[in-house]
Amino acid sequence: MKHASQKCLQIIGCGSVFKSIQVDIGRYCLDYGQINFVEFDDVSSIALNTASVLSDLSPEAADLFLAVDQNALNYARLELYGPAKLKGFKCTSMVHDSAALGVGTYIGENVWIGPNVRIFNRCNIAADTFIAACSTIGDDTHVGAHSWIGKNCLISDSVSIGTNCVICDLININAKIKIGRNTILAQPGLILNNVQSGTFHEFIYEKPGHMIGRNYSFSKRGVSK
């Protein structure tokens, strides 16, 4: 296998994360021979063009980073990530050099840790999850795959966040809270109670939207992962 420095890195995506990486690429401490950017027009063009973009590349020659903002439970990013993994690509993670990671904290692949993020000890940030600038995550917290944490969030200790979640900017989550999968928290403020899977907290509804059906409200456990 080639050493990373002999491989090239393809950064594929669109949106604010893609752009912020592009202008700041020098601060991600990457060890690649070459770095290329492939930008999509918008999220709707991803599904249509993923196959052709990937077919020009080989997993032996290139690693990938798939940089797409949150959009419909991060579905757009998953549309790139899923096919890339099926084709055997390795995805790198991008940690900004101003971010700090604690002891025993594990970061999956295709994770983006933005500028000035603080992640304390023994956390687990699963694959394909993005954490935007100036957010802080306490000890022993788990964030599921394909999730998004916005800017200036404060996630306390021992919090568990499910897969495919979107936690928007300026949200504080109290210690030991469980956030189920497929959840959107879009109202800045403090989360003091567990949030069931499939809950959409947004301004537009008088009460949060809820997914109902198998594995949601009908699941045995109150909060399913």
Q: Which is nearer to another protein, 56 or 206 (CB)?
A: 206
Nearest to 180 by CA among 192, 200, 198: 198
Q: Which is nearer to another protein, 135 or 183 (CB)?
A: 183
Burial 5-33 (b: 16+ CB within 10 A, else e): eebebbbbbbbebbebbeeeeeebebebe
Q: Which is nearer to another protein, 61 or 72 (CB)?
A: 72
Nearest to 200 by CA among 173, 164, 154: 164
Residue 84 C-beta: closest distance to another protein, Å: 15
Residue 180 C-beta: closest distance to another protein, Å: 11
Q: Which is nearer to another protein, 115 or 208 (CB)?
A: 208
Q: Which is nearer to another protein, 32 or 75 (CB)?
A: 75
Structure tokens at 168: 């928007």
Identify the residue whose tokens are 């999850």: 129
Distances from the Cα of 162 to the Cα of 58, 60, 64, 70, angstroms: 32, 32, 24, 15
C-alpha 24/C-alpha 179 separation (Å) is 32
Residue 22 C-beta: closest distance to another protein, Å: 26
Residue 34 C-beta: closest distance to another protein, Å: 33
Q: Which is nearer to another protein, 158 or 215 (CB)?
A: 215
Residue 9 C-beta: closest distance to another protein, Å: 27
* Residues found near another protein in the complex (CB under 8 A): 47, 72-75, 78, 164, 182, 184, 198, 200, 204-214, 216-218
Identify the residue whose tokens are 């409200």: 217
Q: 66, 93 in Cβ contact below 8 A?
A: no
Q: What is the DSSP string of 146-177?
A: T-EE-TT-EE-TT-EE-TT-EE-TTEEE-TT-
Residue 221 C-beta: closest distance to another protein, Å: 12
